[in-house]
Amino acid sequence: MFSRSKGNGREGSTSARRGMPSIVSSDFRVVGNVTSDGDVQLDGAIEGNLKAKAVTIGETGSVRGEVKADTVHVRGVVTGPIRAKIVQIAKSAKVTGDVFYESLTVETGAIIDGACKRWEAEKGHVPSSSGRAYGASESKMYGEARPNGQTKPDLGLPGMAAAPVGGA
């Protein structure tokens, strides 16, 4: 009934294998790079690069720098590139920077101001960012629902200038 597997007895528990996530609470601000071998839950602010196994940026969380992980969930603000196998961007998120992914999910209402580029991490090739400076205020908001007849973003293609939403 209460059999125990051979080894250290921790094989059945996911949290025992991976440990508890590192939490940066909403009243905590880090200036500098953050690296973790496990999961990071960010509700505070990081001014620097963030690298971990999995990253969750909560609605009050923000990163001003590069975010690298196997899995990234964004509900808050990222100013800088995101590089992950799996990227999920919630409707409350604002991303200003390029997103490099194998699998990308974006909820309606999320704001992405940057390029979204698919890449294959197992091949080792990591595309470079566009080289732009992140953090400058910009007037275009990509990936956002635009009510009240506002225009679609300029796609930069000949004959593809902005047009009213719903118009041609």
Residue 124: Cβ-neighbour burial (10 angstroms; 0-12, 13-18, 19+):
exposed
pLDDT, tens digit (0-9, with 9 covering 90-100), for 88-145: 999 999 999 999 999 999 999 999 999 999 987 555 555 555 544 444 333 333 334 4
Would 110 be classed as within a structural domain?
Answer: yes
pLDDT band at 19 (very low <50, low <70, confident <90, very high): confident
Domain of 102, in residue numbers? 18-120
Residue 136 within a domain: no
Instruction: Tell me whether residue 131 is in a domain.
Output: no
- 167 within domain boundaries: no
Answer yes or no: is 98 within a domain.
yes
CA 158 to chain centre: 31
Q: What is the pLDDT of residues 56-94, one digit of tens each?
A: 999 999 999 999 999 999 999 999 999 999 999 999 999
What is the pLDDT, as a whole number, of residue 13? 39
DSSP 16: H
Does any domain span residue 101? yes
| Structural domain count, the chain | 1
Q: What is the pLDDT of residue 122?
A: 57
Q: Is residue 85 part of a domain?
A: yes
- Provide mean pLDDT across the span 38-48: 97
**7: in domain:** no
> Is the entire prediction scored with pTM above 0.85?
no
Pairwise pLDDT comparison (111 vs 147), residue with the higher score: 111
DSSP state of 66: -
Token code pair at residue 106: 């974006």
